Amino acid sequence: MSRYIYADNAATTPVSEPVLEAMLPFLKEEYGNPSSIYQKGRAALAAIEHARVQTANALGCEPGEIYFTGCGSEADNWALKAAVLALAKKGKTHLITTVFEHHAILHTAQKLERLGCQVTYLPVSPEGLVDPADVAAAIRPETALVSVMYANNEIGTIQPIAEIGAICRERGIWFHTDAVQAVGNVEIDVKAQNIDMLSLSAHKFHGPKGVGALYLRRGIAIPNLLDGGGQERGHRAGTENVASIVGLGRAIELACDPAAIARKREHLTPLRDRIIAAALELPHTRLNGDPVKRLPGTINLSFEGVEGESLLLMLDLNGIAASSGSACTSGSLDPSHVLLALGLTHDVAHGSLRLSLAEDITEEEADYIIETIPTVVARLRAMSPLWEKIVKAEQ
């Protein structure tokens, strides 16, 4: 194939060259166990602690507030389950979250519900935004934790995290945010934004897969994720994934450099908006999520009369890798819970497409996406009996 544009960076990103270079020594000569006292062990431990400093610098916290985990989902699971375990003895068994969280949060909240917790799932606006006033109104004396995602993984809308953080801090409620999609895209300052816990995942910003982190504000005592040895200050036992942690540290340092974030935003925003504007020229097409309060590279569109999986397959045949909120790509019959939360009907939600652009996408590649989408949509609509009905209803 002559051309292949990877436009699914919200799913994962390639490990960058400097990240790989930073990792390689720890897969080769520096193979020591960080818990060992001899030189090789000390070198591995020093590397992990350096990664902790890099991560803390990126988030505006202390290194001692960073705990490395196996992935973003692990950090999410830990934050919710541990907060409830820590506060249940004080009678606090109520959680507040939103209807459009990632499944790592939603399914964890549902499990806690089955175990006796009460959970409030806040609605989102048709633009995909959480209203901080809804958070304030949902807080009860028995509320243990508020968990609101920083940026939505499917539609890319950025939530008013600082406002929600201020409300939670004032009311003395712990505030967790799943920032897996946000890190490297927006400037995060956990202290200024009053965030108590934050989950992140390295492979979303050119780090390796299989490593994430939880930021846990000092003073918040929660139960261990894994009991055993003293790794991660006793909170997550098990020999550390040294090379991956080193990769996470280097990747977050590069991704969260304010100049890198600004560069990415300035490069991607106009390209993103150009692709959106071109797509919206097609009839019966909508942009999902607020047009402005969104990640610089994330686009979510619905094309009526077209089913999302066939759209992805045909884009793939034309050299574009993308994603969909279609039921057919998830193995379930219901389309994306995120799109349904925005108020889309099932048939419209089935025809959705997510493009998440890489920071090095060229103008010419954006043009190719702009040219290809109408062709592919037209081809699928021409064979769609649903499209035929839509057109007839209009006449």
Q: Which positions are annotated as active-site residues? A: 328
Note whether 305 and 330 are within 8 A (CB): no
Q: Does 346 contact another protein by CB under 8 A? A: yes
Nearer to another protein, 194 or 323 (CB): 323
Q: Which of 213, 187, 216, 212 has the alpha carbon at shortest distance from 82?
A: 216
- For another protein, the binding residue among 24, 88, 260, 314 (CB under 8 A) is 314
Structure tokens at 203: 């492979």
- For another protein, the binding residue among 173, 327, 361, 373 (CB under 8 A) is 327
Nearer to another protein, 108 or 352 (CB): 352
- For another protein, the binding residue among 331, 360, 364, 393 (CB under 8 A) is 331
- For another protein, the binding residue among 150, 335, 352, 376 (CB under 8 A) is 335
The nearest distance, CB 21 to another protein, in angstroms, is 34
Residues sharing a CB contact under 8 Å with residue 54, sequence separation 6 or more, in sequence order: 249, 250, 252, 253
Interacting residues with another protein between 280 and 309 (CB under 8 A): 305-309
Sign of CA dihedral 160, 165, 171, 176: positive
The nearest distance, CB 372 to another protein, in angstroms, is 14
Q: Does 77 contact another protein by CB under 8 A? A: no
The nearest distance, CB 355 to another protein, in angstroms, is 19
| Segment lying near another protein (by CB under 8 A), choices 78-86, 190-198, 236-244, 386-394 | 386-394
Nearer to another protein, 262 or 317 (CB): 317
Nearer to another protein, 1 or 259 (CB): 1
The nearest distance, CB 323 to another protein, in angstroms, is 13
Q: Does 347 contact another protein by CB under 8 A? A: yes
What DSSP line would sit under 120-183, residue for residue? EEE---TTS---HHHHHHH--TTEEEEE--SB-TTT-BBP-HHHHHHHHHHHT-EEEEE-TTTB
Interacting residues with another protein between 364 and 383 (CB under 8 A): 382-383
Nearer to another protein, 262 or 382 (CB): 382
Q: Does 385 contact another protein by CB under 8 A? A: yes
CB atoms near residue 225 (< 10 Å): 21
How many residues contact another protein, by CB under 8 A? Answer: 25
Q: Does 352 contact another protein by CB under 8 A? A: no
The nearest distance, CB 129 to another protein, in angstroms, is 27
Nearer to another protein, 51 or 306 (CB): 306
Structure tokens at 122: 């806040």
The nearest distance, CB 99 to another protein, in angstroms, is 19
User: Rounded CA gap, 37 and 18, in Å?
Assistant: 29
Q: Does 174 contact another protein by CB under 8 A? A: no
Give, in order, the Cα–Cα distances in Å from 385 to each of 39, 380, 392. 69, 10, 10
User: Rounded CA gap, 257 and 184, in Å?
Assistant: 8
User: Rounded CA gap, 317 and 251, in Å?
Assistant: 32
Note whether 256 and 280 are within 8 A (CB): no
| Segment lying near another protein (by CB under 8 A), choices 73-81, 127-135, 213-221, 323-331 | 323-331
- Output 112-116 pairs: Cβ under 8 A, ≥24 positions apart: 112/80, 112/81, 112/84
Q: Please give the torsion angle defined by the CA atoms of residues 131, 353, 104 and 129, in that order, rounded to the nearest 10 degrees.
A: 0
DSSP 8-class letter at 323 = B
In degrees and rounded to multiples of 5, residue 83 shows phi and psi of -60, -45
- For another protein, the binding residue among 172, 333, 360, 393 (CB under 8 A) is 333
The nearest distance, CB 331 to another protein, in angstroms, is 5
Q: Which of 47, 68, 65 has the alpha carbon at shortest distance from 57?
A: 65
| Segment lying near another protein (by CB under 8 A), choices 209-217, 238-246, 282-290, 311-319 | 311-319
Q: Which residues would be at the binding site for another protein (CB under 8 A)?
A: 305-310, 313-314, 317, 326-328, 331, 333, 335, 346-347, 350, 382-388
